[in-house]
Amino acid sequence: MPRSARSAHRSAQALQFAAGAAKRQAGGETLNRMTTAVAQLKAATVRPLLQKAVAAIRAEDAKAASEWALKVLELDERNGIGWCLLAMARERAGDFVSSISAYETALQLMPDNVEIANDLGRLAMRMGMAAEAEKFFRLFLAQRPGHPEGANNLASALRTQGRRAEAIEVLRPAIQQEPTNAQLWNGLAAAVAEDGDHENAEIFFGEALRLDPKFFKARYNLANTLADRGRMQEALEHVEAALPRVRAEDERQMMRLARATMRLAVGRLAEGWDDYEARIHPQFADTTVFLIDRPRWEPGADLAGKSLLIVGEQGLGDEILFANVLPDVLERLGPHGRLTLAVEPRLVPLFARSFPQAQVGAHATVLHAGRAVRAMPFLEDASAIDLWTPIASLLREFRPDVAAFPDRVGFMAADPARVAHWREALASAPAGLKVGLLWKSGTGRNARHRYFSAFEQWAPVLRQAGVGFVNLQYGDCDEELAWVRRELGVEIWNPPGIDLKQDLDDVAALSCALDLVVGFSNATFNIAAACGAPAWLITTPGAWPRLGLADRYPWYPQARVFAPETYGDWDTAMAQVAEALAGFAQA
């Protein structure tokens, strides 16, 4: 499922954002400690500067806070409070590298101030360093056992590493000790939601809001839980209620991105795509920095005869999904326009064949200062580019409503020679219609796992007669294939001589050689459907790419959608797929 920034995906980001130590709330406690310490300082020259830094942080003015903190350090470079305030200011500015360095200096100068370890852990979490964060939080709790914020933070770090049961066990005694702590109830709700238990998550988020009706992060997380259950209108109402209380820009953009997917899910595409720009806002915590010094395309810009660079973003499946607009863009550029596409390296052959009018090259991404930085090293002369854009931003102009999606089956082109090869090779597969299967994401440890059924629930589908099943699932599948063979007596054919994760151009050809591709939305499903292969999508009630439609999937007109009415009711969905497959095989 597409997600923002590296993740586009709303739910995973929402859980890290909410159930982890609330950054701003934690920052407020730290500021209170700093304010108390400032009052005790005797140095008349330093105290007012520290007070101004504190005031600037409270006002979310990171620039002014940094300047006042630096003035303190110019007078006293060993002032631990000054370093701590500088760390907080740089964190709010999104400069995580400088922030963590400042926190480390503060901890060296004030080794007995174990709260700084808690701050370091929060920052490590924001930088995607959950294992390192866990160490800092454990250090903090060793000195402050039973501290509710510390327990919540540690639970967040554990959950981010896929250790959800451990996270719940950390929170349980903390709640028993402080049953009126709304933050702990929010953390517990986030943990069980990530495990797919949305019914209890809704109860626990409700308890957090009962204890603190102004707790906007709990309201935001409740919105995401409702969205996962398909209750989009309620979800939107909660996000709208939470947004006015947000002061920090990174949190505001996080909520805008969630609101984007909710608006898209109810068919409000124009508003949704506008909010979707939050994914590339400079203050969005998970943004991607694009290294291209050319004017940015905006909706309404004249493209005729221009040279346009489009950069792929987010995951592999997203780059394919959003490529739905490329034929329209080429038409708008006209015969004298020039299109340049920067895509994931494994996708270059497929895009080059599909869009021969374009120059296609690979983008390269590195992690720098806690940010994903994407460059286009194949560009020899960037000055020849008139305009550039991340690919999903084009949807604001080219897909303002569902009616703007063309009834076009297949906008990508598999290699005809390889399609012929696979049709011949499939003669070795089990007899019957050749049906490719996809059943999981390659990122099973994070929150995405709850958007996929357990493999055992595929049994009704796999028992259908007259079908020869073909494995399209990348990653380690030995355990699942062995289970099917042992428990159901069914052989899922493994295509020889292909790496299903790396050889994506050949995956496209194999998909087009099949009679049908069935599965959840991952990179392979999007490749198959984009190339025009018959495809059945199994998805959730709240999946935003459905764009408010129940009976079709506008990105791929030939795709048929199977979604349970109730979140997690995969048995019903699989029974429907099995029944449809039986009819397909008979026909």
| Closest C-alpha to 186, from 23, 27, 22, 19 | 19
pLDDT at 8 over 70: no
Q: Specify the CATH number of the domain 10-280.
A: 1.25.40.10
pLDDT value at 394 more than 60? yes
Token pair recorded at residue 541: 């009630």
* pLDDT band of 275, cuts 50, 70, 90: very high
Q: How far apart are CA 403 and CA 455, in angstroms?
A: 36
Closest CA to 337 of 299, 363, 310: 310
User: Going along 352-415, which residue ranges are E strands?
Assistant: 359-362, 364-368, 371-375, 387-390
pLDDT higher than 70, residue 266: yes
pLDDT at 29 over 70: no
Q: Which residue has the higher pLDDT, 194 or 460?
A: 460
Q: Which of 125-129, 494-498, 541-545 has the lowest mean pLDDT?
A: 125-129
User: What does the pLDDT read at residue 38?
Assistant: 60
What is the per-residue pLDDT for 31?
72
d(CA 461, CA 467): 10
Secondary structure element (H or E) that encloses residue 241, with its range: helix 232-242
Sketch the domain layout of the chain as residue ranges: 10-280, 292-400, 416-586
With a pLDDT cut of 70, the percent of the chain lying above it is 91
List pLDDT tens digits, range 482-522: 999 999 999 999 999 999 999 999 999 999 999 999 999 99
C-alpha distances in Å from residue 356, one per residue of 148, 353, 360, 469: 58, 6, 9, 34
pLDDT at 331 over 90: yes
pLDDT digits (tens, 9 = 90+) for 296-305: 999 999 999 9
Tell the CATH topology of 416-586.
Rossmann fold (3.40.50)
pLDDT grade, residue 40 (50/70/90)?
Answer: low
The pLDDT score that the predictor gives to residue 586 is 86
Strand partners, 509: none
Section 161-179 average pLDDT? 93
Determine the pLDDT at residue 522: 92
| Mean pLDDT for the stretch of residues 286-314 | 96
Look at residue 341 in the predicted model and tell me its pLDDT.
98
Asked if the model's pLDDT at residue 24 lies above 60, the reply is no
Q: Token pair for residue 183?
A: 């933050």
**pLDDT over 70 at 320, yes or no:** yes
Cα torsion at 263, 266, 269, 272 (round to 10°)? Answer: 10
Q: Write down the pLDDT at residue 443.
A: 52
The shares of helix, strand and coil residues in the chain, as percent rounded to the nearest 5, are 55, 10, 35
Backbone angles phi, psi at 444, to 5 degrees: -70, -15
| pLDDT the model gives residue 177 | 93
Residues shown for the chain = 587
Which residue, among 504, 485, 446, 530, has the nearest Cα to 6 in the 3D structure? 446
- pLDDT given at position 117: 87
For β-strands 307-311 and 338-343, DSSP reports them as: parallel
For residue 310, pLDDT over 90 is answered with yes
Give 119-156 as a DSSP string: HHHHHHHHTT-HHHHHHHHHHHHHHSTT-HHHHHHHHH
What is the C-alpha to C-alpha distance for residues 514 and 286, in angstroms, rounded to an integer? 38
Find residue 367's DSSP bridge partners: 372
Nearest alpha carbon to residue 480 among 490, 466, 495, 465: 490
